[in-house]
Structure 1
Amino acid sequence: MGTTQLESVPEPKYWHLKTVLNDALDSEFEVGEILPNERDLAARFGVARATLRQALEQLELEGRLQRRRGVGTTVAPPRMGVAVGPSANSWPGARDAWETVGCVEAVAPAAIAALLGTGPDEAVHTIRRARVMRGQPVAAELLYVPPASVPGLPADLSPAAHAPAVLRELHALELEGEDRAVELGSARADDAKQLDRLPGAPVLVVTSRYYTGGRVAAASVSTYRADTCRLTFGDAGAFEVTHHQQDTRQAS
């Protein structure tokens, strides 16, 4: 990487530095290559480490860099298109790439209880699931199903049979509709561990509601790696986006 004069640039130094670093990632580094440490980079560009850190954090947010446990900061591969909204409505777990990690009965967080319309102390079936693509974890999910939605569950379920039985009963209902909200967030400790990320890393959080009988029958919170995933909606949404196209779109 070459040095650049930042003092006369009217925009924030970290933002201009991010642009310079972004160009260098395209021309001088390979996917998976480890960047020099912060001290060396800051000295090379003549900026404070706080300024450099801001630029690196922005590049991580944009999916150009990854912070890897025990490795350091590496150049990220292009984001993978991950379909989160199939063109035809389907219950979660009906035909998707999620793998069940576990299932418990527990009181849902207040925000989820409000979505489901359950009482503040009412336990719901909580299924934890994981999604893996190209050999790496890309998402973690919590699916919440109130007992009222699956009244036919046997009373003596074993831990291994719990999640399949809940999903089976849920799929027996007629799905009337679903909606989703997407927002940027920070990885909590449990999700970060499951996603092989550092706590606080940028993530995309998708909250979904599933309706039957004029009510919310289930809700899910899916946490996707923001550095790895490009969320698509509908079967025709999984097209490739190059870094050049991303930069053009942001500039328009």
Structure 2
Amino acid sequence: MSVPSHRSGIPDHGRVPKYYAVKALILGEIAELGVGASLPPERDLATHYGVARSTVRQAISELVIEGRLAAQRGRGTFVAEPKLIHPLSLASYTESLRAMGHEPSRLVITAEEVPADDELAAALEIKPGAPVVHLERVLRADGEPIGLESTHLPAERFPTLLDGLDPSGSLYRYMQDELGVVWAEATERIETALASPREALLLQTNPALPMLLMLRISRDPSGTPIERVRSLYRGDRIGFEAHLTAKR
């Protein structure tokens, strides 16, 4: 088995783990096969590269985690679609995806009023026990689930929200056009996380795969919180980018 000539990811001492060398070689095959093509069985790849099946399995597992391959139980492993790269902004999810040439949709899981616990009340600057509107929705791109979004809003401020909103549509667009809400700023934190069994089932993903957890508080021009949003995204299907400028 020949080791790839490039040094990306190769330690300075030059000793390359076998699985990493196999991973690099499989990446070369992926580029030739194209999206949707089936990868040869592990047994065949192990024979072809002259390594153990466990070595091939580890290489493929990392490529699945990175979103380069997609494993389907009972069917095999396939070259995955490129990741969807979503801009970090206060724009509507619907508008952002359509601008990138994808068709957005949402599957409504929960649309209800619940009392705010102490943590949620502090985030929204309301009294503990005050009613909040809770929307939980699976976010989809071209029919594929990519995220699970849980949004809480003060019910006292938005008492008619559940009466007029189509929960499968754009919350931002409805609040802007129908309720006159102005979005001024948001604080967003991004972490890595693992999905719970329930979340993995809703997102149709393996609970062992890493997820991107995003926590956001949005505010209006007066600084009053509008919403708290917890979004869990499939790390194998979506990435995020931000445009940064230097302070002057």
Q: TM-score range by the shorter chain?
A: 0.5 to 0.7
Identity of aligned residues (%): 27
Instruction: List gaps (5 residues or longer) in structure 2.
Output: 5-12, 97-103, 244-248
Quote the residue 1:218 is aligned against.
227
State how 1:117-196 maps to structure 2 within 5 Å. 124-150=132-158, 152-153=159-160, 163=167, 171-196=179-204
TM-score normalised according to structure 2 size = 0.68
Offset at residue 64 of structure 1 (A): 0.9
- Distance in 1 (CA, whole Å) between partners of 2:224 and 2:54 is 49
Where does the alignment leave 5 or more consecutive residues of structure 1 unmatched?
Answer: 235-252
Matching residue within 26, 30, 46 for 2:31: 26
Indicate which of 228, 231, 247 corresponds to 2:237.
Answer: 228
Q: 1:187 to 1:39 in 2, by over 3 A?
A: farther
Take 1:132 and 1:207, find their aligned partners in 2: how far apart are those partners? 19
**Alpha-carbon distance, 1:162 to partner:** 8.5
Output one character per residue of 1:11-70: Cα deviation in whole Å (capped at 9) or x when no partner: 33322222121112113x232122233344344434444433332222123221112344
SS at match of 1:178: strand
1:57-107 Cα shifts (integer Å, max 9, x gaps): 22123221112344332111222233441xxx45x6796645350313346
Q: Secondary structure at the match of 1:14?
A: helix
Q: CA RMSD in A?
A: 3.8
Q: Number of residues paired by the alignment?
A: 221
Give 3-state SS (helix, strand or coil) of 1:206's partner.
strand
Greater RCO, 1 or 2 (C-alpha within 8 Å, sep 6+): 1
What is the aligned partner in structure 1 of residue 8 from structure 2?
none
- Helix, strand or coil: the match of 2:198? helix
Structure 2 residue corresponding to 1:208, chosen from 192, 216, 219: 216
Please state if 1:12 is matched with 2:20.
Answer: no
Q: What is the identity, as a one-letter code, of the residue corresponding to 1:80?
A: L
- Return closer, same or farther for 1:22/1:107 CA change in 2, 3 Å cut-off: farther
SS of 2:57's partner is: helix
Match of 2:61 in 1: 57
Q: TM-score, normalised by structure 1?
A: 0.67
What is the rounded CA distance, in whole Å, between the counterparts of 1:216 and 1:153 in structure 2?
18
The residue correspondences of 1:32-47 to structure 2 (distance < 5 A) are 32-47=36-51
Matches of 1:93 and 1:227, distance apart in 2 = 19
Amino acid of the structure 1 residue aligned with 2:234: R
